[in-house]
Amino acid sequence: VKCGNCGEVTEKESYVMLGEVVPIPKSRGQANLVQKLIECV
Ligand SMILES: [Zn+2]
């Protein structure tokens, strides 16, 4: 899992799902779910 804030990849279950909509570079779509480390929120 990759943190949507700092980009850190970890196996820890310390992520939260956010309802933010973010554009995906080089893609037409958007990501409705963003995972971030709790410490980054
Ligand atoms: Zn982070």
C-alpha to C-alpha distance for 30 and 16, rounded to whole angstroms? 18
pLDDT of 22: 67
pTM (two decimals)? 0.45
pLDDT in tens, 1-41: 788 888 888 776 777 776 666 677 787 776 666 778 888 87
Output the CA–CA distances (angstroms, integers) from residue 9 to 6, 12, 13, 15, 28, in the order listed: 9, 9, 11, 11, 24
User: How far away, in angstroms, is 40 Cα from ligand 1 center?
Assistant: 5
User: How far away, in angstroms, is 23 Cα from ligand 1 center?
Assistant: 18
- Tell me the domain boundaries of the chain: 1-41
User: How far away, in angstroms, is 26 Cα from ligand 1 center?
Assistant: 22
User: How far away, in angstroms, is 27 Cα from ligand 1 center?
Assistant: 23
